[in-house]
Amino acid sequence: MVSKFKQALDNGKFVVTSEIGPPKGTNIEQMNHHVALLKDKVDALNVTDHQSSVMRFPSIGGCQAIMEMNGEAILQMTCRDRNRIALQADLLLAYTRGVRNVLCLTGDAVPVGDHGTAKGVFDLDSVQLLHLVRQLEAGSDLGGNKLAGAVQFCAGATVTPEAEPLEPQLIKFEKKVEAGAEFFQTQAIYDLERFAKFMEYARQFPVKILAGIVLLSSARMAKFMTENVPGIFVPQDLIDELAKAPKGGALKKGIEIAGRTIAAIKKESLCDGVHIMAINREEVVPDILAAAGL
């Protein structure tokens, strides 16, 4: 069984991914509902791994739900909570459950989450995790021991095209490419001219780039992200546009903005696809796709 997501990337189609945030608790009904709602509308669904360092139902559990519903899952894997032994074990488990895609992340810092006194692990970093995936594929573990049954993953990573300063970020991007990353899902982008510049650079590398689309749900949220989230810059005209939306209509406006951004990226063939993050509003992803004409 090969990765359907990888096939979609290789076919040169405009690839669309979105993501599922698992619940805090054992009630997985809503998560399953989101999976059912989105699995056939996108090429693959990421499952977040204790996003923002908030303890939740595990990423691998969400991926299992996707596989049970015949969807295509991208396992988000951070280095924050597991040492190299546990990371390898979870990759083995994921593979046996049919998961064929993994997104290798450093992970947010522990103090930003809801278990602020926990020990952050970071035994490996994202570049080392990518190397680890390739080593497991070659049939041995990090200790150099032979595996009884290897894995095979389409491995990806993230990049922040508007990081400041940018060059250290690009150097790390190249290290991720060298480590075997096949695709990148970017941090949210809003300014397509600036993104086009990044793509001019990124095109020299044999990797697929999916532009990050984070749904703006209000002018306040857009302003907050620009001021507080590293590497996210929402242009003022978009903030104004959201502010001018009729009362109760900001979300609709945000869907429209996301939709037309995706449509423009596709029309101009800026990159290989998009990754839609509707953070806690998975319900409206189909509306974003419709607004994008997909």
Contacts of 244 (CB under 8 A, 6+ apart): none
Report in angstroms how near the CB of residue 252 gets to other proteins at its nearest: 30
219 neighbors 225 (Cβ within 8 angstroms):
no
- For 133, residues 6+ apart whose C-beta sits below 8 A from its C-beta are 91, 102, 104, 151, 153, 155, 180
> How far is CA 46 from each of CA 5, 65, 96, 281, rounded to the nearest angstrom?
11, 12, 18, 15
Check binding of 169 to other proteins (CB under 8 A). yes
Q: Which is nearer to other proteins, 30 or 128 (CB)?
A: 128
Residue numbers 81-100 binding other proteins by CB under 8 A: 84
| Helix (H/G/I), strand (E/B), else coil: 273 | strand
* Options 127, 154, 238, 284; binder of other proteins; rule CB under 8 A: 127
Task: Return left, alpha or beta for 9; rule: phi > 0 is left, psi -120 to 50 is alpha, else beta.
Answer: alpha
Contact between 223 and other proteins by CB under 8 A: the answer reads no
- Residue list 227-266, contact with other proteins (CB under 8 A): 230-231
Told to check if 168 binds other proteins by CB under 8 A, we report yes
Amino acid (1-letter code) at residue 182: E
Of 130-159, binders to other proteins (CB under 8 A) are 131-132, 142, 158
124 binds other proteins, rule: CB under 8 A: yes
Question: Does 179 help bind other proteins (rule: CB under 8 A)?
Answer: yes
Query: DSSP string of 192-234?
Result: HHHHHHHHHHHTTSS-EEEEEEEPP--HHHHHHHHHHSTT---
> Which CB atom, from 147 or from 163, has the smaller least distance to other proteins?
163
- Number of shown-chain residues binding other proteins (CB under 8 A): 37
Site of tokens 């593979």? 95
Q: Smallest distance, Å, CB 1 to other proteins?
A: 29
Site for other proteins, rule CB under 8 A: 79-80, 84, 106-109, 111-112, 120, 122-128, 131-132, 142, 158, 160, 163-165, 167-169, 171-172, 174-175, 178-179, 187, 230-231
